[in-house]
Amino acid sequence: MTAKTYGELWKASKEVKRNYTERALEILASLEEVDRDLVNNGLDLLSGNREALAVYLMRPIPALNRRTCYEALAAGERSRAVQLFEAVRHGIFL
């Protein structure tokens, strides 16, 4: 590969990351319409960083059996997401 090709790959990866983050923020805004308390709890945990919360909620989490918070919520397990936030608040990373 040439340096130009690496540069093109880097630009493409930045674009994917930007698009991913934008979509994650859109989904977070939708969650906020459904469950403002949960979102506020997460924002409190992450010092108001919406982007960090948006991306965190999209990540597979070992304590949720490698599911995302959204998957747990869809499965009716809101309490597990709340417990996860509380554990992190107390310095326990599950």
Give the pLDDT score at 42.
Answer: 94
User: Does the residue 79 lie in any domain?
Assistant: yes
Q: What is the tally of structural domains in the chain?
A: 1
Q: Rounded to two decimals, what is the model's pTM?
A: 0.84
Give the pLDDT score at 4.
Answer: 76
- Write the CA distances from 6 to 3, 12, 13, 79, integer angstroms: 5, 10, 10, 44
User: Does the residue 45 lie in any domain?
Assistant: yes
Residues of the chain with pLDDT under 50: none
User: Does the residue 34 lie in any domain?
Assistant: yes
Q: Which domain holds residue 13?
A: 3-89
